[in-house]
Chains A and B, each alone.
Chain A
Amino acid sequence: METIVSTKDVWKIFQMNGVSVEAVRGIDMAVEPGEFVAIVGPSGSGKSSLLHLLGAMDHPTKGDVFFGEQALSELNDGQRADLRLRRLGFVFQTFNLLPTLSAAGNVDVAMRLAGAGRSERKARVTELLERVGLGERANHLPRQLSGGEGQRIAIARALANKPSLLLADEPTGNLDTKTGAGVLELVRGLCDEDGQTVIMVTHDFRAASYADRVLLLRDGTIRGETRLEGEQDTRETLSRLLTAEL
């Protein structure tokens, strides 16, 4: 089956003060189009490091990451940047909106980088802001937005260039439960309605329950994997996953 992104025996080893830290250890995984995959694990499990490798923001120490059939190791820095711009979308825990740009400006900047024309950008920005429910906040600066609103704008920015893959690193980490749930509902909606492929990294099993598939990561390796078939068995399924791992 066609995959959006996959890894083959990928490792990431950091050297810190002469000590080797194996953040990712020989992971093989694949994500299919339209899937919502959650990578769950405690702090220090290597989930963010894995996400950075998947997102072409970092280089593996061993093994490789493939975007479709393209090995990321064959791409130079400019090509990787281009991949991130046109094929990937990033959502960060702390939103990382540019403070000098309005909500619309933040969404617009991604398309400017991709060289989109003015009318195309304007239409797309309006569409995306409406999609995330913030059409009336277009001219507000990030400091004028609430946490949930900021993250929604970040999601809109990540979708600006119609990426094949949306990568979310702890998207609800800085949000309260209710607001976080709203953001996750939005992401889930993107998958269900638009067929968006999503990989989300989280330490929160409740957040993971929105995904189609959950990978349990610990000490840089995948310790377990499960599919979530419906809302009813999610809690039970995740509990089984966690129990099995322990």
Chain B
Amino acid sequence: MWHLAIRNLWKRRVRSLLTILGVAVSVQIYLAMTTMMASAEADLQDQLKTLAGKVFIQRIMTAESMVEEFPSPSSSINMEVAGELLAIPGIDESMSSAILYVPLAKPPAPGSPPPTRALGITPGHELAFLGPLKIIAGESILQGPQSVILGQGAAAYYGEESGHGVEVGETINVLGESFTVVGLLDRAPAVHDGMVMMELATAQRLFKRPSSVSAVILSAENITEVPRIKTQVENLHPELVAAAQEDVEENVRAMYALVYDLADMVNGVAILVAFLFVMIVMIIAVMERRRDIGVLRAIGAKRATIFGMIASEALLLSIIGALLAGPLWALIRVFVEIGIVSAVDVILTKWLNIGLLALFTGLGASLLPAWRAVQVDPLEALRYE
């Protein structure tokens, strides 16, 4: 009965269009939320990849820093203690280092990370922090006390005035001092993306912390040694917090649990709105077409056929609406931030979500109105006055 469904929708095309738009907006909200959360999850996974085989040590100084991510700008470890930790047996010295981490700009919003941060690290031990991340231009090793390696976010921040990101060979000004950019990092997790990496001694001088660092990164020679190293740190210095990859992941997930819950709630509401849109319109349609339904039943249409007709209409509304959500979302993204190609990529990866959502919305929302339609008694519906 698809042909009847199409004709019925066309007869009330303004109402059909408004319903489709309603579904499209709801699905678009769902797409936006799931994409945002997927990006956040992907970012988290990328960050976690850099943590494999490592133990991260910092000192919790304030209540706020209990929930801050690593490295925490409010953490402070004495240089002697740092040296002690770096001497623990079983660590890969070249992949281990003390680091000093200081925000260079105010966060754009409360609770969000600062757009750029200074990271002081022992020269030659850059990979302790960079891990598997790629350098897209220049060097992966600092070239002297006035050299820096920038993340993409930091390069954009310092290139704001010129209108293009800072490139290798150019200079930037940090707290009144000039630094030459010797390397640029590829797109990376947030912690690395805003990074201005410099020599540890330079950072300690610049930020007036000659005898302390923010944290220590220890890389195990053998990944199976991570638990032993972590326990040893905790035994040596109970005042310090040592975290391995799984600890960091647990903390981050706990921190963002509320965000994930909120996103799930928004998604649930969006789906419910789409559902209600279609259901309300179909209930009205069944009420309006009581007589037509009675005629069909009188001439021999089975209840299942009537049910199928109503379900077909509901499915059409939700499928068209859901399909429209993709281009609608892409249009918004084009105007807001990214290029058309990236938007299309996300649409293509989300096609299964869109399809399932359309199916669920259409079929689910049609149940009540279709049930009401099959209850129509042909004699009552066709009763004359």
Q: Contact residues of A with B, CB < 8 Å?
A: 52, 55, 57-58, 77-78, 81-86, 88-90, 92-94, 96-101, 105, 109-110, 112-114, 157-158, 161
Contact = CB atoms under 8 A, between A and B. Distances in A.
B122 interface: no
A168 to B, nearest CB: 13
A57 B379 contact: yes
With most chain A CB atoms within 10 A of its CB, the pick from B11, B300, B379 is: B300
B292 A99 contact: yes
Interface string B294-313: 11111111111100000000
Contacts, number: 71
Contact of B301 (A57, A85, A86, A92): A85
Interface of B: 1, 3-4, 7-8, 10-11, 291-292, 294-305, 378-379, 382, 384
A161 B296 CA distance: 14
Given A96-B295, A98-B292, A99-B292, A109 B302 contact: no
Contact of B7 (A82, A88, A94, A101): A101
Nearest to B302: A81
Interface of B is mostly: helix
B378 A113 contact: no
A98 B295 contact: yes
Nearest to B7: A100
A81 B8 contact: no
Contact of A78 (B296, B302, B379, B384): B302
B207 to A, nearest CB: 75
A24 to B, nearest CB: 14
Nearest to A167: B298
Contacts of A90: 298-299
Given A58-B379, A96-B295, A98-B295, A81 B7 contact: no
Contact of A81 (B292, B294, B297, B384): B297
Given A55-B298, A84-B300, A98-B4, 12 more contacts: A52-B379, A84-B298, A84-B299, A85-B299, A92-B295, A92-B382, A93-B384, A96-B294, A99-B292, A100-B4, A113-B299, A113-B305
B1 to A, nearest CB: 8
B8 A100 contact: yes
A112 to B, nearest CB: 8
A79 to B, nearest CB: 10
A51 to B, nearest CB: 11
Contacts of B291: 96
Contact of B382 (A89, A96, A98, A114): A96
B384 A109 contact: no
Contacts of A99: 11, 292
Contacts of A92: 295, 298, 382
Contact of B299 (A52, A58, A101, A110): A110
B300 A85 contact: yes
Contact of A113 (B7, B8, B300, B382): B300
Contacts of B382: 92, 96
Contacts of B295: 92, 96-98
B11 A113 contact: no
Nearest to A160: B299
Contacts of A100: 4, 7-8, 10-11
B302 A82 contact: yes
B178 to A, nearest CB: 76
B299 A78 contact: no
A6 to B, nearest CB: 21
17 contacts: A57-B298, A57-B378, A58-B379, A81-B301, A81-B302, A81-B303, A86-B300, A90-B298, A90-B299, A92-B382, A96-B291, A98-B296, A99-B292, A101-B4, A110-B300, A112-B1, A113-B296
Contacts of A114: 300
Contacts of B299: 84-85, 89-90, 109-110, 113, 157-158
A78 B303 contact: yes
Contacts of B384: 93-94
